Amino acid sequence: MKIKFYKYQGSGNDFILIDNREKMANEITMQDIKKMCDRHFGIGADGLMLLNTKEGFDFEMVYFNSDGKEGSMCGNGGRCIVQFASEMGIKKNEYVFSATDGTHTAEINLNKHISLKMNDVNGVDYSLDHFVLDTGSPHYVKFASNIEDINVVSEGRKIRNNREFEKKGINVNFVETLDEDHIFVRTYERGVEDETLSCGTGVTASALMAAHNDNGFNHVDVKTKGGNLSVEYDKISDSEFKNIWLSGPATFVFSGEYEIKEQ
């Protein structure tokens, strides 16, 4: 069986997208997804997404990590699938779509940047040297200096696999403050089990912890290894954040056909 696929990237976080509104990819297996995402023997990607129909929504986003398992919310993936939906003929000023963590709203602005509304955050676990919070996916946020010199894979893997987080896994973000409202973020992602060039939910979590206004509106510009993003939000308290928007480009890379061989 041959499947038409499209490759997109959002600040270097890359994804395989399939238009599944006709349910052509319903039989795709975890092993198929793992092979397609393989960078040596497949198409290569950090994850795969299906664009499905769902009553009451413009579309449904179904996201799989590169290990083939269905994943939690992916911020850069959410922005990429909105751009994909537009290019597949779903033309809107504002999109409302369903994802694993609920309903999301998104817009495409005049610069062709995608702004994605993330879910409110109503809890943060504070520790001496890190924060843990959920922005659609669970994140460990640690501020440090000179993060370019950190071995993110080695250090991130230790945290992700320690006794506290091993069972469910966690994404690990190392964050450097560049100035009052500008940070640099590097992320080790569970499911990929490697550093990715960018992580949308990780960027969001890091930006929330980098608030420059103790209450009210915040805008944080974020540098990642794959490009620049921005996060805007209202800080209600140290543990409560609302009106969270993740913004940045989402770009088509290439398309093709992939043959899925019968097992």
Catalytic residue numbers read 74, 199
Per DSSP, the residues of 171-198 read EEEEEEEEETTEEEEEEEETTTTEEES-
Q: Which helix (H) or strand (E) holds 76?
A: helix 75-87
**Which of 14, 13, 103 shows the shortest CA–CA distance to 5?**
14
129 Cβ partners below 8 Å, 6+ apart?
Answer: 142
Residue with the two structure tokens 């994804």: 15
Kindly give, in sequence order, each residue whose CB lies less than 8 Å from that of residue 145, ignoring residues fewer than 6 positions away: 176
- Give the rounded distance of the alpha carbon of 183 from its chain centre: 17
Strands 227-237 and 2-10 come out as unpaired
Name the β-bridge partners of 255: 6
Cα–Cα distance measured from residue 201 to residue 136, given in angstroms and rounded to the nearest whole number? 7
Counting beta carbons within 10 angstroms of the beta carbon of residue 234, is it exposed (0 to 12), middle (13 to 18) or buried (19 or more)? middle
Contact of 37 with 30, CB cutoff 8 Å: no
